[in-house]
Amino acid sequence: MAITYLKSGRSDSARAEDDRRTRETVEAALADISARGDIAVREMAAKFDGYAPDSFRLSQDQIDALIATLTPREIEDIRFAQAQVRRFAQIQRDSMKDVEVETLPGVVLGHKHIPVQAVGCYVPGGKFPMVASAHMSILTASVAGVPRIIAATPPFQGKPNAAVIAAMHFAGAHEIYVLGGIQAIGAMALGTETIAPVDMLVGPGNAFVAEAKRQLFGRVGIDLFAGPTETMVIADDTVDAELCATDLLGQAEHGYNSPAVLVTNSRALAEGTLAEIERLLAILPTAVTAAASWRDYGEVILCDTHEEMLQVANEIASEHVQVMTDRDDWYLDSMVDYGALFLGPRTHVANGDKVIGTNHTLPTRRAGRYTGGLWVGKFIKTHTYQRVLTDDAAADIGRYCSRLCMIEGFVGHAEQANIRVRRYGGDNIPYGEAAQ
Ligand SMILES: NC(=O)c1ccc[n+]([C@@H]2O[C@H](COP(=O)([O-])OP(=O)(O)OC[C@H]3O[C@@H](n4cnc5c(N)ncnc54)[C@H](O)[C@@H]3O)[C@@H](O)[C@H]2O)c1
Ligand SMILES: [Zn+2]
């Protein structure tokens, strides 16, 4: 077994120190919002985004005025992307069936799907105005039938971004707030004098946003841990270094802390990709962030076999996993831990991010071990019900229940069963004893 790091990223201890600082910042900020409401939110918005208007909520007139600044082409492109996201989300929703079934004679069990009643969708926008994130959370919540959808996004370069606001509006947001970071997440979850709290928070964001959602989980629901973008390219010598380097940098540009990892069994491809990345960083306009990510978090891992590559890939459980090999289907069958797969050299992560229709809000920091990405089902709660229809069923299941309760010593529980066994089955069970 030979797995060699031709390039490694930051140490685990350095990453843990970053996490500790983020955790403390978020704790203090959420406590402040909880104590001082709108005043704290306004102070943070002024401090972090230099933006504190009379109202963070946009009026319909403001929304219309922003949309009017877009070109017909921009509007058409946003609507095209939303049509793709809606189409796939609707098919996924249709795959979720209510059930009602007679499991024993006279015993009926069922479940029904009920949308979360109020959600807060975070649309990131610190470094880039992430139009696509509006489709992913707000539109998907709309398809799920969520009755109250509120949405927040930070100002971009000091003011609301027209394309993001248009996408939020077209996707079906009922309230739009120009508010970012911990202050947006805290205000939506905890509520303030001007924002009624929601039941669930969804959407991706930077480390502060993801940590704020994590800390609020329990008080509200969250979709998943969707922090700074990660990407992995699994490639063999069926593809070239330029393609691999382009795909790694394409996601490393998200921020200064976006891991991009190449896993390969080809030394020539590994070395070629390292060289291509240096060449492209010299001409990529977003190289400032992409280069920082690559320097601190980029990795090139050389393996002997596809089995080793699979093992490494499952272990890292990257948010995006691009597979460009002579056996892509084998990876589709064998990968178990990841956010989403992108199969074959024609496929790429930017398609998934922006337009193709699958959801781009995906698990990071190895959360792919226990959850997939955001999808319509995350907005749906599955609630069960039961009904006992006949006297015989009440007595038959009741006798089991009575005895099982008494094994555990739950006499009051047993009596819930016993009273039915007496009434519907005619059994003569002394109070506080098990049925025979
Ligand atoms: N996992 C996913 O599915 C996924 C999808 C898309 C984007 N993303 C990630 O979303 C992130 C977007 O990040 P972004 O920063 O551009 O936008 P963002 O909207 O997530 O965060 C901007 C906010 O961060 C806050 N902030 C900035 N510096 C701060 C500080 N020092 N202390 C407290 N708060 C601070 C500000 O309030 C600002 O409004 C990227 O990391 C990207 O990789 C993840
Ligand atoms: Zn991306």
Question: 350 in a domain, yes or no?
Answer: yes
- Site to probe by mutation for ligand 1, drawn from 19, 137, 208, 286 as the one with most ligand atoms within 8 Å of Cβ, is 208
Pick from 272, 259, 332: nearest CA to 302: 272
Q: Is there a single domain that holds both residue 120 and residue 91?
A: yes
Question: 385 in a domain, yes or no?
Answer: no
Q: Is there a single domain that holds both residue 135 and residue 47?
A: yes
Question: 380 in a domain, yes or no?
Answer: no
Residue 272 has pLDDT above 70, yes or no: yes
Average pLDDT over residues 276-291: 96
Q: For the segment 238-258, what is each residue's pLDDT rounded down to a tens digit?
A: 999 999 999 999 999 998 999
Question: 234 in a domain, yes or no?
Answer: yes
Ligand (nearest to CA of 348):
2
Is 320 one of the annotated binding-site residues? yes
Is 174 one of the annotated binding-site residues? no
Residue 434 has pLDDT above 90, yes or no: yes
Is 183 one of the annotated binding-site residues? yes
Question: 9 in a domain, yes or no?
Answer: no
Nearest ligand 1 atom to the CA of 29 is: 33
Q: For the segment 201-212, what is each residue's pLDDT rounded down to a tens digit?
A: 999 999 999 999
Average pLDDT over residues 103-109: 98
Residue 429 has pLDDT above 80, yes or no: yes
Share of the chain above pLDDT 90, in %: 96
Distance 125 CA to ligand 1 centre (A): 7
Residue tagged active-site, from 135, 169, 320, 360: 320
Q: Is there a single domain that holds both residue 363 and residue 409?
A: no
pLDDT at 428: 96
Q: Is there a single domain that holds both residue 199 and residue 290?
A: no
Last residue of a domain, one of 202, 223, 244: 223
Alpha helices in 282-410 (DSSP H): 287-297, 306-316, 328-334, 349-354, 391-408
Is 51 one of the annotated binding-site residues? no
Q: Is there a single domain that holds both residue 233 and residue 364?
A: yes
Supply the residue whose CA is at minimum distance from atom 13 of ligand 1: 206
Q: For the segment 336-349, what is each residue's pLDDT rounded down to a tens digit?
A: 999 999 999 999 99
Residue 290 has pLDDT above 90, yes or no: yes
Question: For the domain that residue 343 is a member of, what is the CATH number?
Answer: 3.40.50.1980
Find how far residue 115's CA is from the centre of its chain: 17
Q: Is there a single domain that holds both residue 239 and residue 314?
A: yes
Tell me how far apart the alpha carbons of residues 168 and 123 are, in angstroms, rounded to a whole number.
Answer: 9
Which residues face 150 on adjacent strands?
Answer: 120, 175
Q: Is there a single domain that holds both residue 163 and residue 253?
A: no
Last residue of a domain, one of 182, 203, 223: 223
pLDDT at 11: 86
383 catalytic? Reply is no
Residue 1 has pLDDT above 80, yes or no: no
Average pLDDT over residues 98-103: 98
Share of the chain above pLDDT 70, in %: 100
Supply the residue whose CA is at minimum distance from atom 36 of ligand 1: 181
Last residue of a domain, one of 223, 247, 267: 223
Supply the residue whose CA is at minimum distance from atom 28 of ligand 1: 48
Pick from 312, 322, 317: nearest CA to 337: 317
Q: Is there a single domain that holds both residue 270 and residue 283?
A: yes
| pTM of structure | 0.94
Which residues face 341 on adjacent strands?
Answer: 321
174 catalytic? Reply is no
pLDDT at 398: 98
Average pLDDT over residues 51-75: 97
**Lowest-pLDDT range, 14-23, 31-40, 353-362?**
14-23
Question: 44 in a domain, yes or no?
Answer: yes
Average pLDDT over residues 166-193: 98
Residue 334: C-alpha distances to residues 307, 310, 331, 435 (Å):
10, 8, 5, 51
Structural domain that includes position 320 = 228-373
Distance 123 CA to ligand 1 centre (A): 9
Is 251 one of the annotated binding-site residues? yes
pLDDT at 230: 97
Ligand (nearest to CA of 45):
1
Q: Is there a single domain that holds both residue 167 and residue 137?
A: yes
Q: Which two tokens stand for residue 231?
A: 């990407």
DSSP secondary structure string for all residues of 69-94: TS-HHHHHHHHHHHHHHHHHHHHHHH
Contact (Cβ atoms closer than 8 angstroms) between residue 199 and residue 158: no
Token pair 């102070």: residue: 43
Average pLDDT over residues 207-230: 96
Residue 14 has pLDDT above 90, yes or no: no
Residue 381: C-alpha distances to residues 33, 114, 230, 367, 410 (Å):
29, 5, 29, 21, 30
pLDDT at 12: 86
Question: 284 in a domain, yes or no?
Answer: yes
Question: 97 in a domain, yes or no?
Answer: yes
Q: Is there a single domain that holds both residue 170 and residue 34?
A: yes
- Site to probe by mutation for ligand 1, drawn from 128, 131, 156, 206 as the one with most ligand atoms within 8 Å of Cβ, is 206
Can you tell me the ipTM of this complex?
A: 0.97
Average pLDDT over residues 397-424: 98
Q: Structural domain tally of the chain? A: 3
Alpha helices in 261-365 (DSSP H): 267-281, 287-297, 306-316, 328-334, 349-354
Q: For the segment 114-161, what is each residue's pLDDT rounded down to a tens digit?
A: 999 999 999 999 889 999 999 999 999 999 999 999 999 999 999 999
pLDDT at 362: 97
Distance 253 CA to ligand 2 centre (A): 8
Q: Is there a single domain that holds both residue 41 and residue 184?
A: yes
Q: Is there a single domain that holds both residue 207 and residue 67?
A: yes
Pocket residues for ligand 1 (CB within 6 Å)?
25, 48-49, 124-127, 133, 154, 180-182, 204-206, 208-209, 226-229, 254-255, 258, 319, 360-362, 364
